[in-house]
Amino acid sequence: NAKAYLMIEVDGSQQEIVEATEAILQACQVEGLIEAKPAHDTKALWAARKALSPLLKDIAPKKINEDIAVPVSHLPELLTGLEKLSAQYQISNVNFGHAGNGNIHVNLLVNPDNAEEMQRAYACLDEVFSLVLSLQGTLSGEHGVGMAKRPFVSREIDATTIQLMKQVKLTFDRNNILNPGKLFPSD
């Protein structure tokens, strides 16, 4: 029944690991804290995290997943905003990602056969992107823009910068064979 699952992994010299772990344990004195000591505990925690995305199909047959990022200082506002949008649009939402750099994978869980639900989901997604940008975030934290986010790029990047990006791409890709139709909004 957990609403949140935060994994904190540290690296460094043995002394740095001990010091960082002690500081984390002091800061995280809450119910439900699990400290993974042996290597097999760490592997089990990572296995649980990696199993999360495929398990979402048990909740809904399709997910609209986006990877966005905001400054870490805005992460609480983002997560609160995502919860509000999920409730407002009546769309199940599961978020996971990399809290240390503000990169969150937003998963709107939907039934693709329900046209009304899909309409609500895409309206919700539009507001998710507005929320991210209002928090000085970016629409793509680690997986790129691709084709799905193309219509939204101009909300984050001004026309002059997009034109410059197109010119740079043209310099290296005169025949437009590298990822044609991706990244840039349709003209």
Q: What is the DSSP string of 134-184?
A: HTT-BS-SSS--TTTTGGGHHHHS-HHHHHHHHHHHHHH-TT--SSTT-SS
pLDDT value of position 115? 98
pLDDT value of position 41? 79
Nearest in space to 89 (alpha carbons), one of 130, 56, 126, 121: 121
pLDDT value of position 29? 80
User: Structure pTM?
Assistant: 0.83
Cα separation of 4 and 97, whole Å?
12
pLDDT value of position 158? 94
Nearest in space to 76 (alpha carbons), one of 52, 98, 102: 102
pLDDT value of position 164? 96
Interacting residues of 96 by C-beta distance below 8 A, sequence separation 6+: 5, 49, 52, 53, 104, 105, 107
pLDDT value of position 160? 96
Nearest in space to 139 (alpha carbons), one of 69, 74, 72, 89: 69
What is the DSSP track for 60-112? -SEEEEEEEE--GGGHHHHHHHHHHHHHHHT-EEEEEEEGGGTEEEEEEEE-T
Q: Which residues pair with 66 in a beta bridge?
A: 106
Q: Mean pLDDT by 10-residue block, N- to C-terminus, for the chain (187 residues)? A: 77 93 86 73 84 90 95 97 98 93 96 98 97 96 84 92 94 92 77
Single-letter code of the amino acid located at 176: N
Cα separation of 85 and 132, whole Å?
12
pLDDT value of position 35? 75
